[in-house]
Structure 1
């Protein structure tokens, strides 16, 4: 197994390529509302937050992002591991990096939504990592962790 390193993304092209690959997964379409606007200006969209990219041996393998909601809260978005890098525990590393970074940025809580039917593995991981489920509507579950 190679080394897996999570870094704050300064190259929006890298993030863009990962986000686009993620958006093409069957069933994920609903997660990409106003996606063009997001892609057009990633720096502004995630201002006050961060885009984190996980690299295996220098190759982008996955990503996660933090979007500012208000002074105390932020939203986790875009957790994605490329198919060829799955099953190595990288999602957990990215989630830990995200909560760590959100804490550093001064947020008290982090929320996000997921689709348990489409992203069953991720959903089960969130629950194992003590994310609290706030509710589920139209197949989309709202999750939260206090930082």
Structure 2
């Protein structure tokens, strides 16, 4: 498996992977129109100081994770998705994606990571808890946190920046 930063050249693969998981697997009522960031990865993620990572097996995109840097010391985790057949400890893709994103965040002066998700994604919530994220009320989010409409559970992780 290989993890690397990806941009708009992988747009079709990214959209296919994410929408299939959101809509078909978990019935989350979200469309591509609700996620314009997927069609402008460079400007939405990279330009403000974030990153969009893809996990590849045999040159096929099997997982994603992204960081929106929404202020100098805080970032939001977005687009954490792994194809069903590549989930779990055997491949460890989600863990490796998260670790690379955390390393990138620490190296770039981010002190806090936040994320929003939906209650139906219980495995995702357990995964974040296992990685020391704490659940916080929506009111505890920074005022500039980029909210996504379907999200109803929020988590936070304090980092130790390396700079």
TM-score (norm 2): 0.75
For residues 31 and 156 of structure 2, what CA distance do their matches in structure 1 show? 17
Runs of 4+ in structure 1 deviating by more than 6 angstroms, as ranges, are 136-139
For residues 49 and 31 of structure 1, what CA distance do their matches in structure 2 show? 23
Decide whether the 8 Å contact of 2:116 with 2:151 is kept in 1.
no
Residue ranges of structure 2 left out of the alignment (5+ in a row):
140-149
Distance of aligned partners of 1:6 and 1:66 in 2 relative to their CA distance in 1, 3 Å threshold: same
- State the 1:18 CA deviation: 2.8
Higher strand share: 1
In structure 1, the residue matched to 2:3 is 6
- State the 1:126 CA deviation: 0.7
Decide whether the 8 Å contact of 2:19 with 2:32 is kept in 1.
no
In structure 2, the residue matched to 1:15 is 14
TM-score (norm 1): 0.82
Equivalent pairs, count: 142
Q: Following superposition of structure 1 onto structure 2, how do residues 1-147 of structure 1 map, counting pairs within 5 Å? A: 4-10=1-7, 11-13=9-11, 14-24=13-23, 25-29=25-29, 34-35=34-35, 37-46=36-45, 47=47, 48-87=49-88, 88-116=91-119, 118-135=120-137, 140-147=152-159
**Deviates most, 60-69 or 80-89:** 80-89
Residue ranges of structure 1 left out of the alignment (5+ in a row):
none
